[in-house]
Amino acid sequence: MAAYGLYTHIASNKFRSMLLLAGLFLLVYVIVYAGALVIEVLNNGDGTVDYYLKVALFDVIRTLPYSTGAALLWIVIAYFFHQKIIDAVTGGEDVTRQQEPRLYNLLENLCISRGIPMPKLKIVDSDALNAYATGLNQRQYAVTVTRGLLNALNDQEIESVLGHELTHIRNGDVQMMVIAVIIAGVVGFFAELLFRGFFNFGNYGWSSGRGSSWSSSSSSSSSSSSDSGGDRKGSGGAAIIIIIVAVVLIALAWLLSQLVRLALSRSRELLADAGSVELTKNPDAMISALRKIEGCGELPGATSAVMELCLDNPREGFSDLFATHPSVESRVQALVKYAGGHDPGPLALPSAAAPDDPSQLTQDGQVPPALPSGPWGSSGDPASAPQGTPAPPAGPWGSAAGPWGRR
């Protein structure tokens, strides 16, 4: 599907996401097929490769209602309890207008101006600078921000962050990501279950003498090959080959499930940035918010699945291959190029350079720049300096007035 504008890009992203989710669900059956191969080999070590492949496929078809039901049950449980699970991991708590009037009013004004239903508002008591949206339906939608983000960003920047998360809700990204995390969790759970079950059974089998069945079947097949013309030659080797195939299928299914989650993550962040600019009409605020959040969004104790939902995920993959989000630099450059914003470059947080006396901060919460100094100290007029600015250093005569007592 070709995309030429913002809304066609959103529609194209939804279409691709649905295809990826369908493929992700098919990986559940790949795991089931791999499990059937392992079970058939453990039950009968004398078969051939064709025998194992056909019988395992029959097992998958026969147990299709049960495997589908188990996956759907997992999804239903996550559907009703995913928000509680995320809140338990991050420590998010509901807040009201009375508790957080500044944040609540900013979110409410955005929703009213665009006719968007008001989601729940939550705060995580963390110094990290991050935010995320969750929910699968209108009653579950919630926007969560950290305390550190509220303290570090001004109103316009917070509004742009809220617009970013509201765009995720409007575009359906939240539902896609939550479902993707759930299905990928099913794949990961079954994969781990099979690995643990196989190795535990294997250890028990070898210790109890059952593991000798493969070697005995291999030796018996080779001894009878002279009489049967080699019809059963290598049956023990076939069992080993099938086990290797099953392990490869399990590992491949797990890896593909992670790649699908990445494919759903990267493009949606750029679209959410653009949606925030559309809501707030302020690309510079979105850019400065990203610059302040850059590298400061790590939520302590949060799982990788939770970090994928966040505005920024500082956890980078191997050589950026498994990074769930585009880099802040690429997102800023996209806003500069397509939204007409201005990039101030990397920004230091106000708290990192704030003086001990709060009265020395400007109205924006920033430290005022130092006045340029001439050869005798300050070259500017102290009376014209911003209120609260420290007095300029004395010149060589011990006074800023000069040697004659005049300024």
Look up tokens 């099938």; give the residue.
242
Domain that holds residue 250: 1-220+232-353
Flag whether 325 is in a domain.
yes
- Higher-confidence residue of 399 and 289: namely 289
Q: Is the pLDDT of residue 116 over 90?
A: no
Q: Is the pLDDT of residue 303 over 50?
A: yes
Q: What is the pLDDT of residues 333-390, one digit of tens each?
A: 999 988 888 888 887 665 443 444 445 445 554 545 544 444 444 444 444 444 554 5
Flag whether 99 is in a domain.
yes
Flag whether 78 is in a domain.
yes
Q: What is the pLDDT of residues 117-163, one digit of tens each?
A: 899 999 999 999 999 998 888 888 999 999 999 999 999 999 999 99
| Tokens found for residue 331 | 């997102």
Question: What mean pLDDT do residues 158-176 have?
Answer: 89
Distances (CA, A) of 167 to 125, 280, 289: 24, 11, 16
Flag whether 400 is in a domain.
no
Flag whether 121 is in a domain.
yes
pLDDT category of residue 290 using cuts at 50, 70 and 90? very high
Phi/psi at 373 (5° precision)? -110, 140
- Higher-confidence residue of 306 and 407: namely 306
- Higher-confidence residue of 236 and 257: namely 257
Q: How far apart are the first and last CA of the chain?
A: 72
| Tokens found for residue 279 | 């809501």
Flag whether 387 is in a domain.
no
Q: Is the pLDDT of residue 37 over 80?
A: yes
Look up tokens 């999804």; give the residue.
75
> In this structure, are strands 131-134 and 92-94 parallel, antiparallel, or unpaired?
unpaired
Q: How many CB atoms lie within 10 A of CB 73?
A: 11
pLDDT of residue 338: 87
CA–CA gap between residue 96 and residue 120 (Å, rounded): 9
- Higher-confidence residue of 283 and 354: namely 283
The angle subtended at Cα 74 by Cα 69 and Cα 76, nearest 5°, is 90
Among 165, 269, 294, 308, the active-site one is 165
Torsion of CA 251, 252, 258, 259, to 10 degrees: 150
Report yes or no: 392 and 376 within 8 Å, Cβ to Cβ: no
CA–CA gap between residue 235 and residue 45 (Å, rounded): 7
Report yes or no: 10 and 170 within 8 Å, Cβ to Cβ: no
CA–CA gap between residue 277 and residue 90 (Å, rounded): 28
Flag whether 175 is in a domain.
yes
CA–CA gap between residue 150 and residue 153 (Å, rounded): 6
pLDDT of residue 251: 85
Flag whether 255 is in a domain.
yes
CA–CA gap between residue 373 and residue 222 (Å, rounded): 94
Three-state SS for the chain is CCCCCHHHHHHHHHHHHHHHHHHHHHHHHHHHHHHHHHHHHHHCCCCCHHHHHHHHHHHHHHCHHHHHHHHHHHHHHHHHHHHHHHHHHHCEEECCCCCCHHHHHHHHHHHHHHCCCCCEEEEECCCCCCEEEECCCCCCCEEEEEHHHHHHCCHHHHHHHHHHHHHHHHHCHHHHHHHHHHHHHHHHHHHHHHHHHHHHHHHHHHHHCCCHHHHHHHHHHHHCHHHHCCCCCCHHHHHHHHHHHHHHHHHHHHHHHHHHHHHHHHHHHHHHHHHHHHHHCCHHHHHHHHHHHCCCCCCCCCCHHHHHCECCCCCCCHHHCCCCCCCHHHHHHHHHHHHCCCCCCCCCCHHHHCCCCHHHCCCCCCCCCCCCEECCEECCCHHHCCCCCCCCCCCCCCCCCCCCCCC
CA–CA gap between residue 8 and residue 183 (Å, rounded): 27
Q: How many domains does the chain have?
A: 1
The angle subtended at Cα 371 by Cα 368 and Cα 377, nearest 5°, is 145
Residue 100 catalytic?
no
Backbone dihedral region for residue 345 (phi beyond 0: left; psi -120 to 50: alpha; all else: beta): left
